[in-house]
Structure formats: C-alpha cells, structure tokens
Amino acid sequence: MAHSSTIANQVPLMFRAQVEGRCQVQRLIPKAPEQDAERWADEWVDKAYPEAPDFGKDVQTRTYALSWRFITNSGQDDGVIRPVIGARGWPFYPGSSMKGVFRQAARQLERTGELPEGTCDRYCGEKLENDDFRPGILRFHGGYPTDTRWTQNLVDIVHPQQQWQVKSGEKEGGAFIQISLYKPKLAVGISSTTPLDDLEWEQIWHIWETALSLGLGCRVSAGYGQPQQRSSDILYRTRLKGQGQAAKLVDGTGEFRPNVFRAAIRGHALRIFGGLTSADQAEGLVQELFGGIRGGATVGLLSMAFLDTQLELDDFGQGSYSQPTYTVEGELLWRLTRDLPQPQRQALTKLIEALTRFAMVFGGFGKSWRRADHRLVYPDYYDQGYKPLIGCHWEWLGKRSQVRDVRVRKLEKVGDFIAEVR
C-alpha cells in the first residue's frame, strides 16, 4: 500500500482529481509554503514545448497584443478556471470560440448595414429549412501565444469584494485562484475552403477585429482579454493617473489590476441605485449594466479596458508592513457590448461618465480607495515607526480630461454634483 501511495503522489497535478488531498488548484491556503496552483503551473510549463505551434501554409494569420490578462475556461476540471491546452502543451484559444465571436460581430455589422445580408451565413454556415446545415467557407483555427512569455505570472488571484464593500459588510468566503495569461501576444488563424482575393480577406479580418474589440475569452466585462488596439466604437474614454497599494499575487509580488475600475464603478452604481429603488431592482440593474452571475451568467452592456502608458511597481514600508505599490498612467475605455438605439446609447454614455466622475471625487480605485494617500497628505505619519500604507491618489490626466471631467473645484459644489449624478 505504501508503494501505491508513493506512485500516486508522483502523478502530475494536472492529471489528479480536484479533491482535497490530491489537488485543489482554485484553493488558496494562507501561509502554505507552496500552493497547488503554483506547482500545477510549474509542472505544466516544464513539460510544454519551447516553440509555438505552426498553423500551416494555407492558414491566414495575424497577431494581436492584449492589454492585461487573458483567460479561457477549459471546463475540464471541476471548480477550476484554467486555459484550454492545445498542441505542444501550449495554451490555446479554441477555434469554436473564435467562430462564435466572429459570427456575432458579422451579424452586428449586417444589422448596421456595413456588410451585405448573407455575409455571415456565407462565412460561418447557416441552418436550412429541412433542419440540415450548410457549412460556411471559413475555418477558424484558434489562437496561440507567439512566444514563451505566456509562462510567466500564470497564477492569478480573484477576491470577491461586493458583499464586504457594498452590501452587508460581512466577508463572503475568501480569495480563490485561477490560471490566466499575463499580457500575451496571440497569433490567430483563419483559412478558407475556396480561394479568396485580398480585398475579401481584408473584410474578413475587419469582422474579426470588430469581434476582438469587445474582448476575448472569459470575464471580458472585468477587463480581461482586451486588445491593446483602440476600438472606434467607444462609449466613454478618459485619461487617468494614480498611485496606491498594488494587489498581491500568490507569490507575494505586486500587480496593478485594471479591474479595480470596474469594481469601484459597479460598487458606486449599486450604492446609488440602492437609494433610488429596491435592493432587488438595484442589483438587477447593476447586473444588466456590468454583468454578473445572479440568477445565471449575464454579459453586461458595458465592457471596460484600461490601456496603461506608464506603469511602475515598487515596495513601500518595512518588515511586516512592506507592501507592493503602483504608479500608473493610462486611458480608461468603456464600450458597448451590443447594439442599442441611439437614445439608450446616449443615456448610458451620460451614466458611465457620471459614475466615473463620482468615483474620482469620492475616493479612487483599488485598495484603501476611501482614504487619501498618506504619503502625500500626511507624510509625518510614517515618521512614527512601522506603519501600514494607507490610501490612494488619482488624478485626471491631460488637458482634455481635466476640462471635460472635473466637476467639483470647490467643496461647496459637492452637493450639486451628487444631485447631478442621481
């Protein structure tokens, strides 16, 4: 029996059941010398081939850089969010997922008149009247990272805060782990069963890039899977700079996480709506706007991306009070995830403008958002010995943002500003 137990413990975590005592990738055990997720990721990277898979000579390819993390859920391990693993052990964006978002974008462009009706059916296939199916001419080969940088910073941490920050003040469970790729470059491939000229291939890539602009993979509403290329269909954009305490990953290193913007603005929306209607209606409205899992998974109307132009990570404090910090500048973008009539689009633009301005006036984003950065407003505090880092500081960046978005220049104007937001 002892021999059997030894053999069982030599099985890589990737091939073990997700149960206690064998492997629990999603579980974060405080003060553990090594998390299962760290060992799982190390074993995966160690056996993956050093070169990316090749699409083949008949496949058209393009490469796209993503602005932050990218995640696809393989669905292979119960309770674990981790990438699909394809050829040579490399993470893979499935062709089926690629076709799904391509079809959605093609339908949208047909509705707006940018594509002739029937284009989507020609490319992706259509269902016939006799319940048969006619395949499209395109084949979607999915996507792979272009180099081995995907092997770095795989272990991602998620810490739900809504219950604690906004609702009851009670902590609901704790942090959990997922596996995601940090700022990858993805090469995606498409081929055709019939010869196409260059003009039509440009149209195909335009459809794909329309799909890409809304994000790839899971959790796109929270800033995952967003491209670095700017989309033309932006609901609201502004430039910001800020500093504060960075999120701490499982290995103790710091990371600036752009989903702090969605979390803060979603939280403020729930607070404001909660003062205007019932709790159930407020939660329903927030889920419709930003997405959620209440009563089933919902893709929100709004998708967020943050494109950093300058990012510095550092440490502040001594001993047990040492914490990772960030200083960041960049552009915050909000997009619509689907077509809406112009009056509704204008209303959503005003809403997200107001909520972003509200967040800037009444705190900021990320850890300790309710308090001002003591390094700026109370530097003597840190002369008193070992002290924790408190607060954050955010500013509008650039003349356009300062002219357009600054709504409170004097304290007595705060009341009018709150009334305007409501």
Tokens coding 267 = 């939280």
Say how many C-beta atoms besides its own lie within 10 A of residue 74's C-beta: 15
d(CA 395, CA 403): 12
Q: Tell me the per-residue pLDDT of 312-361, one tens digit each, with 9 for 90 and over.
A: 999 998 888 899 999 999 999 998 888 888 999 999 999 999 899 889 88
Q: Do strands 254-255 and 247-248 pair parallel, antiparallel, or not at all (unpaired)?
A: antiparallel
d(CA 421, CA 419): 5
Are residues 181 and 145 in contact, defined by beta-carbon separation less than 8 angstroms? yes
**pLDDT class of 164 with cuts at 50, 70, 90:** very low
pLDDT value for 5: 61
d(CA 339, CA 341): 7
Angstrom CA distances, 381 to 160, 242, 326, 369, 370, stand at 31, 21, 20, 18, 18
Closest among 147, 140, 124, 119 to 61, alpha carbons compared: 140
Does the pLDDT of residue 204 top 90, yes or no?
yes
- Rounded average pLDDT over 388-397: 93
Are residues 62 and 187 in contact, defined by beta-carbon separation less than 8 angstroms? yes
d(CA 108, CA 89): 35
Does the pLDDT of residue 384 top 90, yes or no?
no
DSSP state of 248: E
Are residues 156 and 40 in contact, defined by beta-carbon separation less than 8 angstroms? no
| Higher local confidence (pLDDT), 91 or 24 | 91
Say how many C-beta atoms besides its own lie within 10 A of residue 224's C-beta: 25
Closest among 180, 195, 187, 212 to 102, alpha carbons compared: 212
d(CA 22, CA 362): 46
Are residues 215 and 224 in contact, defined by beta-carbon separation less than 8 angstroms? yes
Mean pLDDT for all residues in the chain:
87
Q: Tell me the per-residue pLDDT of 58-82, one tens digit each, with 9 for 90 and over.
A: 999 999 999 999 998 887 777 788 9
Name the E strands within 38-194. Answer: 60-65, 69-70, 84-85, 91-92, 126-127, 133-134, 138-145, 155-158, 176-179, 181-182, 185-192
Are residues 367 and 213 in contact, defined by beta-carbon separation less than 8 angstroms? no
